[in-house]
Each structure stands twice: as structure tokens, then as C-alpha cells.
Amino acid sequence: METELTITDSIAIKILQGGAILSGVGNELHLHLPNTSKGRVLAQKLRAKVHGIADVLLKNAPSNEGRIIVHGEKECMLMQYVYDEYEYTFRQLSHFRLTDWISYAHFLQNPNEFVLLTAHSVVLRFLYEENTQQKNSCKVTAKSSSNEKSTLYCSHIRGRTNEDLIIFGGNAFGELLIWKPFIADTISRKIDCIEIQVELKHRQPAHNGVIFSIDFDDKSNLLTTTSDDRSIRFWKLERTSNDSWDELKINAIASGYGHVARVFQGKIIHFDRKPMAVTVGEDSHFCIWNSKAELLFKQRIQFGAVIWNFEYDKYTHTLYTVGSTGNLLAYNVEDVLRMKSKIFSTTIIVTDLEPNEYVAKAKFLKSNMLVGITNRNRLMYALLQYNKVNYIHECGPWHIIDMHKKYKCTVFEVQDNYIAICGYKRLTLIKYCQKNEFDILFDADILDGVIRSFHFLNNNSFLISDESGKCLLLEGENIAIRIAVPLPYCKEPWTTTALRVKIKQLKDYLLVSNRMGNTILFKIDYGSAKGTCVDTIRHLHGSLGATMFYLKEVQKDYIFIQSAGHDGSLRMLSIRIESDTIVSHQRTFIPVAWVEKLAVIENNEFLLGFNDNHFVIWAHDYDISVQIPCGGGHRSWHYDITSEDSRKFLQLLFIKNKVLRLHKHKLCNILSKSIKMLRNQWHTRACNILNIIEPHHIEVPFSIVVSAGDDNMVKISKLMSGGRLEQCAELHSHISNVRALKILQIQQDAVLIFTGGGRAQLCIALLELKDFRVHELTSYTLNKNEQSEDEKTQTYRPDPETRIMSCDVVKVNTNNSGNKVEYFVFLCCSDGYLRKLHVSESFKVISEIAFYCGCCLLQVRTFANSYILVAGTNGKICIFNLSLVELPFELPHHASGVNALDIYYEPNTYMLHILTGGDDQSVSYTSLEIQNENTFEIKKKFCIENAHSAQVTAVQLTFDNEGLCAYTSGLDQVVNKIHLRIPATELVCCTPISDIKGLRIDNFKRCFIYGCGIQIFKLK
């Protein structure tokens, strides 16, 4: 089997001699050379998942050489490698299996010697011997067994010689177990293999739950444990002398609770000779702690995936994390460890203030110039100077900018060289000229009430609105042109953001969002100086107004705009130029609760906003890269991007407790902090279903994979050459996990994607294959119609909360000419109903009918455009016609649930082939002939019992040289080929993908097997 791609759990990671990083991904070993940012998969593999790697330098070797032990489950492989800066060459020395799980591997001083610790506290000492005549061998030279036999969840070995070795183990009861396998006087070297039993030295109740990791630092006698109970605990070991472990005292120092889920790994690192600890866990975060368990830093890094393990490179101060999506992600923590970030924060002292006067609003006018307005309505400015030696900002004296009249300021906005101040009826527009001079361009009453908003649009145009909803589009420095924009009347009618898009001599659009959350599109008519409302989207970002409109792309027929608000999501909007209409295409969830701005820095789009009381910067490729505690989003704040010595900095200005603060952050750090490694963007939870759109069209020359999973996402990825899956689009329309997926090609370059899942939700989206734009067409909740009727009559109807388990779609032409297309969507649901939705051409659900089948339904397929085949947890297959009338035909296929189903229909011979995989470990096949309307005759039927040694969850029919055949897989992680004629099973391969949910075979004979991850391999 030739593997093209493996994405699955990565549990083991090691930084090798010479700086390369070796990580285990499933049963494979992936090597990354940091200098070249290249990665490759080693030819040497385990059969089991790689759980641990140990490394040692070969000091006496003629070239740079090292040795590693790679282990997983009961399997162990010893390898040797030669390295230089750009190349590593590996060869296998020995590969063997134990009869028990290997918990830890550890080299001794002599690199030909190593020890393995099993999960039941047996230490085996091995000697590797090279033998030219015979095979190289690993020989057990000693075996020591502890009297404590509880299963170890984690362990750690300290020491490099027999007598030094100390074993630390952690079990499910939260106990820390310490023992010494080889005591000097019990070791006799004369015998081939010595066997000894030893007593446990120390049993320490440590946690309220499983211990997942242990680390011990000899220098500081510090020990850390991490656990199921979400904590890291620091312990101090007291020994009478360094060599003596006889009288051991273990004192708990402190516990740190910084993770919100299980803490899977904790290690002690040294920085500036101080011991610290790093932890990672299920919550996708890493935490850095000092030895008193005080949190120094916390950061989400693996984009929501579970982090299983990490390594810290002490030379580059980089953390390398690995997790459930197999990604190796790097983060530079040098600044954090040096506590540099604190130095960047400065309090700005404002001089010449009157008693009780403070700056109420402040902005950057330039990178080195601040303007502010005080609670006494005085406008002031000051110059900033950056002191490079002390890393601090020095703020010069504040000067008053003279305004004709002081009035209470409600709006204070700054852009380029303009300052806009608004209050009751009045607008003051000031321009900054050179040499610290300010010109007042405009200062007069302009509206009728208290002005609530002022937006800078492009090319000297501005939008202003007041509390009564009066709104003007202004143009020119002296506000010569005033165009009335009729905002709809409501409680809070003023605008929250606005965007003007002019298309040369064709259209002039103004898009605004009001406080009530509605997005309104206006067409501006210059001649009559009037704006006309042409379209509205209600509650685009919930019941609060949008905060940002960003022009993405102007095409011939469409204008694409990205919007954001206070609901933690982005929306893609499009204005159709021909019809002057605006629609929301797609919603994307992001981990920023309040988005305020979008900034483009070095061609990367960064979103600036707030999460609780923190200011954050987020980008799709970098996740959250800056977090500054500022007190929250309800405050006057501003930012500025500045360059110094060709490095980019972010300056954040905000007011907290009436004090003006400035925070400076190195931005090049954002870009390089997470060293760019090719990251897959696969599902962070199990993938439940997958489908392939084959390359069929000159404009779409690659296979497209559509997948959906327990992370509530539908992903669309391109399969690139070299087996790389590149994500092209993501659908966030599901509120629960997604299990059902059907793709329907409607044009050469467009497909419909039907998805169903938990919370009775069905979504339909249109995907354009040329540019991967997604249009979310419908999100429908089953029984919705009935519910809404009930709401009217105020009766309570206990409604089943159902899951859609599988779906299929039939396209129907409802008139004779065939140009009106509608859809029948068949859904099988966990409440035992088979449902049929009639979906109109415009993707509205016209009707929903249901048929009760009596058990949880698992599979549905349509065939011959006339029949529906259904299977459920009772193991039987039933057939319905398109009107949901059950036909008198029942096919028992399994003793229990039908977990997997595939059918193949031959229209010429009217033959239907059905292949199923069951919970009863068997694979069943039936071929039927459709005789005449609604009668079927069984032509062939067989069941291969125990085709797998666990549930069969994946089946697919395909063709080989002999005709129709099939591939199956299940929770036993074995892929079998089923010969349908004989019938017989043939083992194809084993896969590291656990909890397999299905498999697909494409036209290139590639097998896509998915579940906890995905593997793509070529079939013979």
C-alpha cells in the first residue's frame, strides 16, 4: 500500500541531535528540518501508533550520528541516523515486540544499552549488539519488576546508569509511584539475564484523577505531575544525598489550574537558570508556569485540536506542539520568558490638566502623535518619543488645540490627518497641517439632535447621523455636498459602520448598519442629492449593529463585502449590481467575540477586537496572536501600525480607569512567532462523512474532498499532488455535529451540498468550484412548520430532538419542458422516521412528510430515480417508493445495526447490488433484480460472518479487473477486499485511523479512509 496522506493523532515528538524535529503521526514518523521548513515521512514505520521517542547522541561516531527508540503499544524500533544541517538519513537497527504495553523508553550512558518500562512496572534492560554474520540483535540483559502492578498511564525515567535509574509512574487513582529497579548489590553480571523483584519506594497520593504526565528535574529536585483534575502540581523532593533514594520526602509546593480540560503533558524547562514548567492539554492551550505554579503565559495554539505532547527547544526558545490533527506547530516563547511584554506597556501622563480633568477619548493622529479630548471638552495633542534603550515611550507635553466653541463631545473620530468631533447638532472637522498646526475646516450645527456617529468613507466623504435618525452623506473638506440618507425609523436609528462602493459611472452604493442590527443598502443619486434604500438584511450580526464592512472584491456582476459584529462571526455579503440587491452568503465563526477592525499587515488579514476584557488580534493562519488585558471593548481605544528599523509594531492606545495607556507589540513577532509550517486544516474532531468530487472539467482539474464532522464543520478541500489536502472553504452553518452529506452536481462548475446532523438541522449550500465561493442557501429544522403553528396556539408539543443520520436527494423536473427543477430530500432520522422534504427551485422547503420505521435509522440511498432504500439498528433493509410508501419487501442483512451501506445500480440490467457492514462484525451482500414495478427478486445473497474483528463501519463497491468488488473496514482498523463472486475476504492493509466512520474509493483507485483523522492510499 502506498500512502499519500496520513492525518491522525500525533502523540510523540522529539527534537533530534542537530535540531530536526521528529514527530509520530499515527504509525508514521514525520521529520521536519526547521532551517528549510521542509517535512518528509520516513520509510520506517511502526504497525501501532507511535507513542514515544527517545534520542541519544553517538559521541564516538565518525560523523554526526544519533540513535532513537520509537515505540507504540507493545512494539519497539531501534534506529540510527546520520545528520548534517539539511539532511538526515535513518536506518533501522532492530524491530521487536513485547507482550505488554511500553510506557517509556530510555537510553543509558552506553548508547548500546537502553531500558523499556512496561505499563505494569517491569523494567527491561536491553543490549544492542551488531553482528556481521547474524542479524543485529537486542538482547534482554536484566529484568526488574516492581511489586506495584496497577496500570501506568504515564511514567518518567531518571538516571543514565543501572544504579542511578529511578522510575516514576502515575496511575488512574492519581497515585505517584516511585521505585528503583536495580539496587547495586542485587546486580550480578555473570548471568545472561538477571531477574529481580523490587519493592515500591514511595507511593504518593497526588491527584484526584488519572495522572497523565510526570517530569523530574535533577538539578532543582523539582517534580511536576499533570492530571485529569485539570491541574499541574509542583513537588519538591527531599533526599539525604543526591544518590540516595532511600529516605525520600515529597512535599507538594503548589498546584496551578490554568486549563479548562485535561492536562495531557507537563515538562520542566530552564530559562535563565530558573526552572519553569510548560503544560498542554485537551483545551488546545499551552500554559507556562513558574515553579510556584503561578501562570506566566497562556495561549491557544492548535486551533481547537487536542494537544497531546510538546517539546521545548532551549536554543531557539521555541515550543513545538503536536495534537489530534497531526499538526506540528511552533511558537516562540522567548519574549514571554524574558517577560518583555511587560516593558512594552506604558502609562501616558497627561500634563496641564485641571483638577478632576481626565482624557475621555484618545486616538493616534500619527504614529508619534496622540490627540485626546478631555471630560472638560478640551482638545489636546502630544508627541511620543520612543526610548530604545529602556523600551519605553516618552510622551512630551500636551498642547491645547484651539476650538471656537467648547461643547460636550459625543463622537471623536480620527483618520489620516482629520479629526472629527461631534456633539449636540454640531460637527467640528479639523485638519492637521505640518509643524503642529491645526486648521478648522468646518465648525457648525449640521443635524437636529445629539450626533451619535461619524464615519470616514473614502475620498473625502463622510457619513454622519444623529439620535433621531437623520443621516447625511458629506463630501469635500468644507462639507459642500450634503446628501440625505433616509435611515429607517426605529428606537436607535443611528449608524454603527458604513462603506461606500462606487463603480465608475455605473453605481454608487452606500452600505450602512444601524444600531438595531439591520444592514441597509442605499443607492446614491448624485443629481437629486438623495439616497434611496434598495435592500435590507435584518439582524446580520444579531441585534447589535455591524462594526465593520470590508470591501473584498469587485467583480463584473458582484461586489463582495466582509462584515463583522459583536456575535463572534464574519459574514460574506454580495451586492448583485444588476438588481441592486444584497445577500449574506456565508457565515464563519471566529474566536473573537467583538470584532472592531480589519487590518492588512504584510498581505495578511488580521482582525482586531475584544474577547471579554482582552484586546486581541486574530488571523486565520495564526490564530490569536496578541492578547492584551485592557478591560474590555466599551472604551475609547485606537491602534496604529508603525515601522521601526524595518520591524513592524502595533501600538494600542486605550483608557482604563481614566488613565491613558499605551501598549506596544512587536508585529514581526506575530508573523514569525508561529513559525510557518505547512498546517493541515483538517477537522479537529472525528470526521463522520466524506465525499469526493472527481476532476471532470478543465477548470477543476483536481479532486475535491467535501467532509463533515463532529466539530460541526463542513470542509471543502483540494487534493493537491503529493497528497496534500488544501482547504478551500469551510461551512459553519451547523449548530451540532454533521453526519449526513450528499453532493449534487447542478452545473459543470457548481454543486449543491446537502448536509444533515444533530438538532434536526438540514443545510443546503451551493459551492462554485472555480473560486470555491459558498452560498448558504437554507438551514432548515425538521418539524419547524408544525412548531410554529403550535407557537401561535400556545400549546406545548413535546417534540423529538432528532439527529439526521443519513440523507439522499433526487432531482425532479416538475414541468414537462424540464426547465423547472425541484428536489426531494430523503432523510433518515434517529427518532425512527424516514422523512421526505420537498425543496423548491429557490431552496425553500415546501413540504415535509414522515414515515415511522420503528428503529433508529442509519442509512438511506435512492436508486433508479424511483426507490429509496433504508436500513437501521434492527439490521433490516426496507424499500420505499418516492411517495414514501413502503414496498412489501424486507431484507434481513444483520443481527443488529447496519453501520455502513453502499449500493450500485445497473440501469441496463435493472440489477441492484447492496453491500452492508454491521455492528455484528459481518459483511452482507445481496443483488436484486427489479422485475416490474415494485417487485424485486433476490439473485444472490451472502453474509461473511466475522469479516472483521469489530464493528464494520465502512463499505464501498467498486470495480476491479474481474468486475464488481468491494472494500470494507471497521473499528479493527483493517481494510479488507471482498470478492463478490467467490465470495471471499482478502486482507488489504491495516490503518492507523481509529474509530473509522467510512471509506471512499475514487476513480484513481485511491482509498480515502476517515474517522479520527484521514488516510489516503493507493490501492493495487
Partner 1 sequence: MGKTSKDKRDIYYRLAKEEGWRARSAFKLLQIDEKFHILKDVTRAVDLCAAPGSWTQVLSKRLYENRTDNEEVKIIAVDLQAMAPLPGVTQIQGDITKLSTAQAIIDHFGGESQKAQLVICDGAPDVTGLHDIDEYIQSQLLLAALSITTHVLMTGGNFVAKIFRGKDTNLLYSQLRIFFEKVSIAKPASSRNSSIEAFVVCQNYRCPDGYIPQMINPMVDNVQVIVDETNSNVNHKLIPFVVCGDMRGFDSDMSYSLNLEENSEYTYKEVVQKPISPAYKEILEKLKNCSIKHSAITVKHEDGEK
User: Which residues from 206-265 bind partner 1, rule CB under 8 A?
Assistant: 207-210, 212, 227-231, 249, 251-258, 260
169 touches partner 1 (CB under 8 A) = no
Residue 778, CA distances (Å) to 340, 756, 764, 775 in order: 49, 12, 5, 9
Stretch 305-324 residues interacting with partner 1 (CB under 8 A):
306, 308, 324
Of 81, 88, 101, 271, the residue at the interface with partner 1 (CB under 8 A) is 101
- Up-side HSE of residue 942: CA atoms within 13 Å toward CB? 12
Stretch that binds partner 1, among 166-174, 213-221, 435-443, 548-556 (CB under 8 A): 166-174
Q: 162 in helix, strand or coil?
A: helix
CB of 854 within 8 A of CB of 832? yes
Among the residue ranges 216-224, 580-588, 597-605, 799-807, the one whose residues contact partner 1 (CB under 8 A):
799-807
Interacting stretch for partner 1, rule CB under 8 A, among 455-463, 499-507, 645-653, 913-921? 913-921
Q: Which of residues 447-486 bind partner 1 (CB under 8 A)?
A: none
| CB distance 206 to 233 below 8 Å | yes
Yes or no: say if 793 and 782 are a contact pair by the CB < 8 Å rule. no
CB 498 within 8 A of CB 509: no
The interface mask with partner 1, positions 32-61, x = CB under 8 A, is ---------------xxx------------
61, 172, 433, 484: which one binds partner 1 (CB under 8 A) = 172
Binder of partner 1 out of 184, 189, 190, 205 (CB under 8 A): 205
Strand order in the sheet with 122-129: 102-107, 113-118, 122-129, 137-146, 194-198
Q: Hey, which residues between 855 and 884 contact partner 1 (CB under 8 A)?
A: 855-856, 858, 873-875
Which residue's CB is nearer to partner 1, number 9 or number 776? 9
Closest CA to 1015 of 1003, 996, 1004, 1005: 996
802 touches partner 1 (CB under 8 A): yes
Q: Which of residues 332-371 bind partner 1 (CB under 8 A)?
A: none
Burial class of residue 40, CB neighbours in 10 A (0-12, 13-18, 19+): exposed
Torsional class of 784: left (φ above 0), alpha (ψ -120 to 50), beta (otherwise): alpha
CB closer to partner 1, 288 vs 714: 288
Q: Which is nearer to partner 1, 255 or 642 (CB)?
A: 255
**Shortest Cβ 987–partner 1 spacing (Å):** 4
Which among 980, 978, 976, 1019 has a CA at the least distance from the CA of 996?
976
Smallest distance from partner 1 to CB 145, Å: 7
Residue 176, CB half-sphere, CA atoms under 13 Å: how many? 24
Alpha helices in 591-676 (DSSP H): 668-673
The interface with partner 1 within residues 521-550 (CB under 8 A) comprises none
CB of residue 2 to partner 1, shortest distance in Å:
15
Is residue 322 a contact partner of residue 310, using CB atoms and an 8 Å limit?
A: yes
First and final C-alpha spacing in the chain? 7
Nearer Cβ to partner 1, position 840 or 994?
Answer: 994
Assess 921 for contact with partner 1 (CB under 8 A): yes
Position 629 contacts partner 1 (CB under 8 A): yes
Q: Does 818 bind partner 1 (CB under 8 A)?
A: no
Residues 820, 837: Cα–Cα separation, whole Å: 17
Residue 699 binding partner 1, by CB under 8 A: no
Give the integer Cα–Cα distance in Å for 83 and 918.
49
CB of 590 to partner 1, least distance (A): 16
Contact with partner 1 (CB under 8 A) among 141, 143, 431, 441 = 143
271's CB contacts (< 8 A; 6+ apart) are 317, 337
The bridge status of strand 137-146 relative to strand 194-198 is parallel
* C-alpha grid cell, residue 689: 462523512
Among 951, 956, 958, 968, indicate the residue that binds partner 1 (CB under 8 A).
951
Measured CA to CA, the distance from residue 835 to residue 755 in angstroms comes to: 14
Q: Which of residues 971-990 bind partner 1 (CB under 8 A)?
A: 971-974, 987, 990
Q: Which of 709, 696, 671, 11 is nearest to 323 (CA)?
A: 11
| Distance of closest approach, residue 896 Cβ to partner 1, in angstroms | 5
Pairing relationship of beta strands 911-918 and 898-906 according to DSSP bridges = antiparallel
604 binds partner 1 (CB under 8 A): no
Among 265, 547, 627, 681, binds partner 1 (CB under 8 A): 627
The window from 291-299, 359-367, 901-909, 956-964 that contacts partner 1 (CB under 8 A) reads: 291-299
> Quick check: 579 binds partner 1 (CB under 8 A)?
no
Of 66 and 897, which has the nearer Cβ to partner 1?
Answer: 897
Whether the Cβ atoms of residue 255 and residue 233 lie closer than 8 Å to each other = yes
Q: Does 124 sit near partner 1 (CB under 8 A)?
A: yes
The answer to whether residue 810 forms part of the interface with partner 1 (CB under 8 A) is: no
Q: Which of 830, 926, 958, 968 binds partner 1 (CB under 8 A)?
A: 830
If binding means CB under 8 A, how many residues of this protein chain bind partner 1?
108
Among the listed residues 951, 764, 923, the one whose alpha carbon sits nearest the alpha carbon of residue 839: 764
Give min distance, CB of 94 to partner 1, in A.
9
CB of 614 to partner 1, least distance (A): 6
Residue 120 makes contact with partner 1 by CB under 8 A: yes
> Rounded to whole angstroms, how far apart are CA atoms 643 and 666?
10
Pick from 15, 22, 66, 73 the residue near partner 1 by CB under 8 A.
Answer: 73
